[in-house]
Amino acid sequence: MNTPPDPGRLYREFAKGIWKENPVFVQVLGMCPMLAVTNSAINAVAMGAATAFVLIGSSFLVSLLRSFIPKQVRISTYIIIIATFVTVADFTLKAAVPSVHKELGAFIALIVVNCLILGRQEAFASRNSVRLAVADAIGMAAGFAFALLCLGATREILGSGSLFGHLLFGEHFEPWVIMVLPPGGFIMLGVILLFFGFLRERKIRRRTRVSEEAAS
Residue ranges binding other proteins (CB under 8 A)? 28, 31-33, 35-36, 75-76, 79-80, 83-84, 86-87, 90-91, 106, 109-110, 112-115, 118, 178, 181-187, 189-191, 193-194, 197-198, 201
Length of the chain in residues, anyone? 216
| Closer by beta carbon to other proteins, 10 or else 188 | 188
| Closer by beta carbon to other proteins, 11 or else 186 | 186
| Closer by beta carbon to other proteins, 4 or else 197 | 197
Print burial letters for 153-181: b (CB count within 10 Å at least 16), e (below 16).
bbbbbbbbbbbeeeeeeeeeeeeeeebbe
For the bound state, the minimum distance from the C-beta of residue 107 to other proteins, rounded and expressed in Å, comes to: 9
For the bound state, the minimum distance from the C-beta of residue 177 to other proteins, rounded and expressed in Å, comes to: 11
- State the alpha helices, DSSP H only, in the chain: 7-18, 31-36, 41-64, 74-96, 98-104, 115-123, 130-160, 182-215
| Closer by beta carbon to other proteins, 42 or else 178 | 178
For the bound state, the minimum distance from the C-beta of residue 141 to other proteins, rounded and expressed in Å, comes to: 18
Please name the residues in contact with 210: beta carbons below 8 A apart, sequence gap of 6 or more.
none
At 182, the amino acid letter reads: P
For the bound state, the minimum distance from the C-beta of residue 197 to other proteins, rounded and expressed in Å, comes to: 5
